[in-house]
Amino acid sequence: MTQCDPTKDNTGFSETNEYDLVIIGAGPAGMTAAIYAIRANLRLLLLDKLAPGGQVINTLEVQNYPGTGTINGAELAIQMFEQTQQLGVPFEYATVTQVREKGGLKEVVCREGPTYKAKAVIIATGTNPRRLGVPGEDRFAGESISWCAICDGAQYRCKKVVVIGGGNSAVEESLYLASIADHLTVLTLFDLTADPRACDKLRALPNVTIHEFQEILEFIGSDHLEAVRARSTKTGAEVVVETEGVFEYIGLEPEAGAFANLGILNVHGYIEADAWMATRAEGVFGAGDINSKNLRQIVTACNDGALAAQAAARYIESLK
């Protein structure tokens, strides 16, 4: 770890835009990394192009983050960010367009103008769920439309639920939701393309209806979501499915375009990192949903952030 220097400004502020560590992304992974990094006495900067919290702020209720009980996602994000500020973590709004190596340092290039230099970088930019782009989606997003059954499924116990999608994620989450909901309807643009055994298990459930080859047209509702309207791509017939909640699983998009030049992404655009969150690029670490991993949850993101910060601190110490 970095040794204490009484002349060093440990708030992380740098008039020359040079830091020990720059963390890109202020979701749970990035904020956890910032907490661990500043406690390791690193001069750091936390960056995000949007409000701190990442996808958490779009979650109506979080019920599986230890110690909080049931909490609004935005409230949890605020609490995390307030903790970083109490510890003195500097935060800036910035859209990172590239990270490049120069003179033994990492240069973090931002669209807004500044370029920050750092000995190490943690990338925690996460993912964005793909959206349908149909009427009503934006209105009910984060309220009655969710992208995480593990996060939000419990509030639909004994209610009518719709899942949109037919891939592995859609089928796996449908199996989970079917055990909670009164009735589950699956709407998919093609047929079910998930593991055949999982598909057979889903089809066999008595409270599940599957409509294949359906194009979603709109989400219907006034004060609250009431139904989903879809049209068969084969016959043109329309169906209106009454529901109290919708879960969309039509894919995720990793926020990794700015890092393609580093050679750390897999064929799907996610960061490949080892058990200590280190990538193939020296001094560059990945954390949270941007990493190729099996489970994307708040707790796993926090785990990644803590490991990445510890690994980055050791890397920075090795440069001396």
Per the structure, how many domains does the chain have? 2
84-96: buried (b, 16+ CB within 10 Å) or exposed (e) per residue?
beeeebbbeebeb
Is pLDDT at 16 greater than 80 in this prediction?
no
Mean pLDDT of the chain: 92
User: What torsion do the CA atoms of 282, 284, 287, 293 make, to the nearest 10 degrees?
Assistant: -50
Residue range 97-106: mean pLDDT, rounded: 94
213: CATH: 3.50.50.60
Which of 20, 48, 110, 148 is labelled catalytic? 148
Range of the domain at 164: 131-248
Are residues 138 and 120 both part of a single domain?
Answer: no
Distance separating alpha carbons of residues 174 and 310, to the nearest angstrom: 37
Q: State yes or no: is 9 an active-site residue.
A: no
Q: Place 99 in a pLDDT band, splitting at 50, 70 and 90.
A: very high
Instruction: Inform me whether the pLDDT recorded for 110 exceeds 80.
Output: yes
Q: For residues 6 and 24, what is the distance between their CA atoms, to the nearest angstrom?
A: 28
Both 241 and 100 in one domain: the answer is no
The gap between the terminal CA atoms of the chain, to the nearest Å, is 11
Is 199 assigned a catalytic role?
no
Q: Does 145 lie in the same domain as 56?
A: no
Selected catalytic residue, list 48, 152, 289, 304:
152
Q: Does 299 share its domain with 223?
A: no
Tell whether 105 and 239 lie within a shared domain.
Answer: no
Residues 145 and 92 grouped into a single domain:
no
Q: Are residues 136 and 219 in the same domain?
A: yes
Rounded mean pLDDT of 190-195?
91
Q: Are residues 152 and 137 in the same domain?
A: yes
Q: Are residues 140 and 227 in the same domain?
A: yes
Query: Where does a domain end: 195, 225, 248?
Result: 248
pLDDT digits (tens, 9 = 90+) for 232-261: 999 999 999 999 999 999 988 899 999 999
Q: Are both 161 and 75 inside the same structural domain?
A: no
Does residue 5 belong to any structural domain of this protein?
A: no
Q: Is residue 3 part of a domain?
A: no
- Average of per-residue pLDDT across 169-189: 94
Q: Higher confidence at residue 103 or residue 264?
A: 264
Final residue in a domain of this structure, among 192, 220, 248:
248
Catalytic status, residue 48 = no
Confidence at residue 252, expressed as pLDDT on a 0 to 100 scale? 82
| pLDDT at 6 exceeding the cut of 50 | no
Q: Check 110, 151, 199, 302 and give the catalytic one.
A: 151
